[in-house]
């Protein structure tokens, strides 16, 4: 489905009907065709109008392609892979998605998967609101704006993960819980998915920043260097967050081990406190029988001396344990 067709020149821009052939006739100078969930008929029309290589059309139809940059002399074909939250899932999960970009001298064509992942509404609005930064540039700058929006999706997702990591770091120190460990492993899985998606794209964006092509001018190359820096930043952040999550696991396990040691120490202390008095009571109890028949026992000194000795021994044991800081 054709999502939008826009064209612009210096100082002017317009939105076209979703009819490629008619829009091309009305083109103001630079045209952007944005296609979501492409139909084979639309891609065949693209191939006929722009003479795109059949293999690039095939790549647009098939998901799960590797990031790539292919130079076909009069146009560049770029595939980038992003990461999005799965829609309509009760449990938050991440999955990859792809965007294909054709860059010609006066045309930019984006082909995206059906469901989300990124919004190009910001770029759309900049063109229609006649943002001079875009209107005064060529198609390469529009391509940069699209890729920059794409990379921002990674940074926004990583920012959400960072906020959650900071919250977890606070919890693990003061009140660690079992579900915290489960969430930590979930986030580590997300980070691995992000790293797996980012790493192959570093080479693609690096190539764009140094591409020796008449489609990317020397004025545009610094902008592509900027998005290359952003993908490196996303890669570095992912590695850092992965290490922080590992640290959270280590702190949790250490805390659990300390808690177990405290429990065992408490059991040992209680055992020491109870065992000796209990032993004395067992031995002494043999000599004090038939309390109901001989209530005068409670008036005899030996009985109270025996009780006092149990209490004193218990106090001594407690003092020894406290002195040993057990």
Distance CA 288, CA 302 (A): 10
Residues 6+ apart with CB under 8 A from 266: none
CB-neighbour burial class of residue 214 (10 A; exposed 0-12, middle 13-18, buried 19+): exposed
46: its two tokens: 């693209």
253: its two tokens: 């396990």
Question: Which residue stretches of the chain are H helix?
Answer: 20-26, 40-50, 54-61, 121-128, 132-135, 139-174, 178-210, 221-285, 301-323
**Model pLDDT, residue 288:** 56
**Model pLDDT, residue 291:** 53
User: What does DSSP say about strands 94-104 and 75-85: parallel, antiparallel, or unpaired?
Assistant: antiparallel
CA distances from 258 to 169, 176, 307, 314 (A): 18, 12, 37, 27
Distance CA 2, CA 39 (A): 9
List, in order of start, the domains of the chain with CATH numbers: 2-255 (3.30.460.20), 256-323 (no CATH)
Q: Token match 């190539």: residue?
A: 207
**Model pLDDT, residue 235:** 95
**Model pLDDT, residue 121:** 84
Distance CA 313, CA 1 (A): 87
CB 7 within 8 A of CB 27: yes
The low-confidence residues of the chain, meaning pLDDT below 70, are 87-91, 115-117, 283-300, 302-303, 324-326
User: What does DSSP say about strands 12-15 and 107-112: parallel, antiparallel, or unpaired?
Assistant: unpaired
CA distances from 19 to 183, 271, 273 (A): 48, 85, 88
φ and ψ at 234, to 5 degrees?
-60, -40
Distance CA 23, CA 20 (A): 5
**Model pLDDT, residue 173:** 79
């Amino acid at each position: 489905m054709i999502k939008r067709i826009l064209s612009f020149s210096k100082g002017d821009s317009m939105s076209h009907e979703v009819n490629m052939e008619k829009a091309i006739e009305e083109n103001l100078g630079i045209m952007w065709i944005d296609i979501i969930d492409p139909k084979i008929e639309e891609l065949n029309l693209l191939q006929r109008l722009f003479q795109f290589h059949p293999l690039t059309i095939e790549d647009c139809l098939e998901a799960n392609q590797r990031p790539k940059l292919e130079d076909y002399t009069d146009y560049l074909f770029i595939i980038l892979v992003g990461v999005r939250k799965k829609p309509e899932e009760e449990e938050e999960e991440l999955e990859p998605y792809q965007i294909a970009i054709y860059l010609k001298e006066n045309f930019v064509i984006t082909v995206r998967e059906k469901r989300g992942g990124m919004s190009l509404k910001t770029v759309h609005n900049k063109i229609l609101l006649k943002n001079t930064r875009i209107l005064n540039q060529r198609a390469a700058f529009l391509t940069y704006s699209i890729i920059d929006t794409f990379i921002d999706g990674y940074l926004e997702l990583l920012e959400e993960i960072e906020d959650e990591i900071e919250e977890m770091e606070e919890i693990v120190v003061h009140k660690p819980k079992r579900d915290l460990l489960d969430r930590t492993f979930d986030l580590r899985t997300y980070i691995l998915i992000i790293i797996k998606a980012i790493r192959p794209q570093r080479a693609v964006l690096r190539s764009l920043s140094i591409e020796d092509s008449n489609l990317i001018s020397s004025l545009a190359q610094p902008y592509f260097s900027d998005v290359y820096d952003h993908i490196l930043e996303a890669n570095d952040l992912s590695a850092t967050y992965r290490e922080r999550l590992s640290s959270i696991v280590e702190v949790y396990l250490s805390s659990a081990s300390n808690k177990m040691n405290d429990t065992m120490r408490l059991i040992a202390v209680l055992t020491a406190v109870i065992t000796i008095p209990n032993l004395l009571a067992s031995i002494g109890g043999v000599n004090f029988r038939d309390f109901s028949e001989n209530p005068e026992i409670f008036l005899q000194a030996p009985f109270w001396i025996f009780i006092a000795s149990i209490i004193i021994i218990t106090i001594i044991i407690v003092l020894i344990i406290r002195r040993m800081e057990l």
